[in-house]
């Protein structure tokens, strides 16, 4: 039996369905939340700060889903497309963990998530159109920046005040490093300095927006 060929309309509708699920349906993790003691009430000031930090990380995972989906859609090499889809599936765990932690903290996700998803999908699709080496290099650079961002959040959660959130971020950091290394091993090109700088600026804008909204 020959493999089914999807039309552009099929692919478009499939991506809309995926976006709706990411933005509105509860994420389901394939791995348990990184083991920590049962969550205990936090002092109000720390709870509010943890909510903001985890909201930023949840928004980042929403963007990651869109980025990988966009890159997989326009990848030229089936192996690269499969790698993008595989990483997106792994990052569902991160999305679910951040979502669960927000609920435990009595917080909410970012109101700007639809914007982050749409923008990230467009950027991912463009990266894919620029060629697989550039697309993989974009993933590797993204993951390096995400890893640095997560380490900064772990530092802000140091001192044992919110060990549950910190444990989640530690596992996410480990996974992001693996995703970046995988992209580099598949032939990712080193991005020009100005492109990496523009990525950092965009990340800061998303971080600040999600922190408050």
Q: What is the pLDDT of residues 180-213, one digit of tens each?
A: 888 888 777 777 777 778 878 888 888 889 989 8
Q: Which of 6-10, 62-66, 175-179, 189-193 has the lowest mean pLDDT?
A: 6-10
Query: Would the pTM count as exceeding 0.85?
Result: yes
Class for the domain spanning 43-212 = mainly alpha
pLDDT at 15 > cutoff 80: no
Reference 124, options 161, 71, 72, 74; nearest CA is: 71
Q: Rounded to the nearest 5 degrees, what angle is found at the Cα of 153, between the Cα atoms of 147 and 158?
A: 125
Q: Where are the domains of the chain?
A: 43-212
Average pLDDT of span 39-63: 89
1: confidence class by pLDDT, cuts 50, 70, 90: very low
CA distances, 35 to each of 69, 89, 163, 169, 176 (Å): 29, 21, 10, 12, 19
For the chain, the straight-line distance linking the first and the last C-alpha, in angstroms and rounded, comes to 50
Tokens of 100: 């669960």
The reported pLDDT for the residue numbered 138 is 82
pLDDT at 3 over 60: no
């Amino acid at each position: 039996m020959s493999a089914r060929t999807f039309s552009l309309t099929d692919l478009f509708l499939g991506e809309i369905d995926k976006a709706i699920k990411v933005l509105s349906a509860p994420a389901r993790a394939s791995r348990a939340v990184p083991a920590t003691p049962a969550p205990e009430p936090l002092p109000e000031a720390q709870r509010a700060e943890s909510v903001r930090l985890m909201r930023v990380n949840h928004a980042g995972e929403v963007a990651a889903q869109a980025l990988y989906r966009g890159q997989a859609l326009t990848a030229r090499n089936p192996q690269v497309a499969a790698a993008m889809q595989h990483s997106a599936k792994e990052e569902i765990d991160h999305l679910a963990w951040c979502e669960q932690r927000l609920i435990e903290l009595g917080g909410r996700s970012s109101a700007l998530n639809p914007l982050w998803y749409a923008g990230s999908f467009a950027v991912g699709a463009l990266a894919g159109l620029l060629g697989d080496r550039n697309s993989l290099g974009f993933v590797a650079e993204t993951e390096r920046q995400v890893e640095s961002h997560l380490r900064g959040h772990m530092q802000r959660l140091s001192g044992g005040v919110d060990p549950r959130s910190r444990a989640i971020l530690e596992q996410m950091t480990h996974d992001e490093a693996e995703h970046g290394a995988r992209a580099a091993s598949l032939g990712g090109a080193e991005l020009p300095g100005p492109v990496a700088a523009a990525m950092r600026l965009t990340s800061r804008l998303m971080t600040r927006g999600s922190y408050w909204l």
